[in-house]
Amino acid sequence: EADIYQTPRYLVIGTGKKITLECSQTMGHDKMYWYQQDPGMELHLIHYSYGVNSTEKGDLSSESTVSRIRTEHFPLTLESARPSHTSQYLCASSVGTVPYEQYFGPGTRLTVT
């Protein structure tokens, strides 16, 4: 089934740990995005990708990194988690020619203790 998946849905982890948030889509979309959203606040774009081997930083500076080795996969990595990284992370994808119609994943709620 064509969809966009995020794992894990919830993650509680200690300070200093390395984490990778997974995002995969089976819709064949070339453009993918990562947003960060604190409760009651805006979604902030932190990374996006136009396609394989393309990654760009978004509007909000983030200590995380991303990679796009395969079209369907866009993981986000934090080398050393800190409490300030506690947030919800949303992954989305879109057809490159229709970038405004983004399909969102269910999100990962990250808590760093």
Considering the complex, state which of residue 14 and residue 61 has its C-beta at the smaller distance from other proteins: 61
Which residue, 21, 4, 13, is CA-closest to 108?
21
Distance, in Å, from the CA atom of 84 to the CA atom of 108, rounded to the nearest integer, reads 15
Query: Shortest gap between Cβ of 47 and other proteins (angstroms)?
Result: 11
Query: Shortest gap between Cβ of 108 and other proteins (angstroms)?
Result: 13
Is residue 77 within 8 Å of residue 102, measured between CB atoms? no
Look at the block and give the residue holding tokens 């894990």.
8
Site residues (vs other proteins, CB under 8 A) = 33, 35, 40-45, 48, 56-59, 90, 92, 99-107
Query: Shortest gap between Cβ of 48 and other proteins (angstroms)?
Result: 7
